[in-house]
Amino acid sequence: MMTTLTGLKCVTCGRGFGPDGPWMTCPDCGPDDGILDVQYDLDAVRAAWKSTPLADRPLTHWRYHELLPLESSAIRDDWTVGWTPVIDASRLAKEMGLKQLLLKDEGRNPTASFKDRASSVGVAHALQLNANTIACASTGNAATSLAGHAALAGMPCVIFVPHTAPEPKLAQLLVFGATVIAVQGSYDQAYQLCSQACEKFGWYNRNCAINPVLVEGKKTGGLEIAEQSASFGGVPDWVAVSVGDGCTIAAVWKGLSEMHQLGVIDRLPRLLGVQAKGVAPIAYALKHGSMPTKLQDGCTVADSINVAVPRNWRKAVNALKQANGVVVSVDDDQILDAMRASGRHGVYAEPAAAAALAGVKVAIEDGIISGGDRVLAMVTGSGLKDTRAAIRAGGEPIKIEPNLDTLATALKGRGVTDGAG
User: In sequence order, what DSSP letters do the residues of 342-355 get, joined into one string?
Assistant: HHTTT--B-HHHHH
Cβ–Cβ under 8 Å, residues 179 and 157: yes
Residue 21 bridge partners (DSSP): none
**Judged by CB under 6 A, does residue 115 bind ligand PLP?**
yes
**Judged by CB under 6 A, does residue 304 bind ligand PLP?**
yes
Q: Cα dihedral sign for 12, 16, 19, 23?
A: negative
Cβ–Cβ under 8 Å, residues 142 and 307: no
Q: Whole-number minimum distance, CB 251 to ligand PLP, in Å? A: 8
**Judged by CB under 6 A, does residue 353 bind ligand PLP?**
yes
**Judged by CB under 6 A, does residue 246 bind ligand PLP?**
yes
- Of 290, 274, 232, 292, whose CA–CA distance to 104 is shortest? 232
- The H or E element containing residue 208 is none
What's the CA gap between 296 and 293, in Å, rounded?
9
What's the CA gap between 358 and 336, in Å, rounded?
9
Which one of 4-12, 34-42, 43-51, 350-358 is the stretch in contact with ligand PLP (CB under 6 A)? Answer: 350-358
Q: How many residues bind ligand PLP (CB under 6 A)?
A: 18
- Of 329, 337, 330, whose CA–CA distance to 392 is shortest? 337
Q: Whole-number minimum distance, CB 119 to ligand PLP, in Å? A: 11
Q: Which of 212, 217, 244, 281 binds ligand PLP (CB under 6 A)?
A: 244
**SS3 category, 148:** helix
Which one of 38-46, 84-92, 242-250, 396-404 is the stretch in contact with ligand PLP (CB under 6 A)? Answer: 242-250
**Judged by CB under 6 A, does residue 256 bind ligand PLP?**
no
Cβ closest to ligand PLP, residue 342 vs residue 380: 380
Ranges within 359-388 binding ligand PLP (CB under 6 A): 380-381
Residue 180 bridge partners (DSSP): 159
Q: Which of 195, 207, 211, 248 binds ligand PLP (CB under 6 A)?
A: 248
> DSSP code of 114?
T
- The H or E element containing residue 267 is none
**Judged by CB under 6 A, does residue 195 bind ligand PLP?**
no
Q: What's the longest Cα–Cα distance across the chain?
A: 78
Q: Which of 210, 247, 256, 360 binds ligand PLP (CB under 6 A)?
A: 247
Which one of 191-199, 320-328, 349-357, 394-402 is the stretch in contact with ligand PLP (CB under 6 A)? Answer: 349-357
**Judged by CB under 6 A, does residue 25 bind ligand PLP?**
no
Residue span 51-90 as binding mask against ligand PLP, x where in contact by CB under 6 A, dash where not: ----------------------------------------
- Of 294, 273, 297, whose CA–CA distance to 283 is shortest? 273
Q: Which of 10, 352, 357, 376 binds ligand PLP (CB under 6 A)?
A: 352
What's the CA gap between 317 and 161, in Å, rounded?
27
Ranges of H-type helices in 129-246: 141-153, 167-175, 187-201, 212-228
Q: Whole-number minimum distance, CB 142 to ligand PLP, in Å? A: 6
**Judged by CB under 6 A, does residue 242 bind ligand PLP?**
yes
Q: Whole-number minimum distance, CB 248 to ligand PLP, in Å? A: 4
Q: Whole-number minimum distance, CB 351 to ligand PLP, in Å? A: 8
- Of 263, 107, 295, 274, whose CA–CA distance to 187 is shortest? 295
Contacts (Cβ under 8 Å, ≥6 apart) of 264 = 54, 226, 227
Q: Whole-number minimum distance, CB 365 to ligand PLP, in Å? A: 22
Cβ closest to ligand PLP, residue 113 vs residue 342: 113
- Of 165, 170, 134, whose CA–CA distance to 151 is shortest? 134
Q: Which of 66, 224, 332, 350 binds ligand PLP (CB under 6 A)?
A: 350
Cβ closest to ligand PLP, residue 165 vs residue 305: 305
Tell me how far apart the terminal alpha carbons of the chain are, to the nearest angstrom. 70
Cβ closest to ligand PLP, residue 168 vs residue 246: 246
Positions in the binding site for ligand PLP (CB under 6 A): 113-115, 141, 242-248, 304-305, 350, 352-353, 380-381
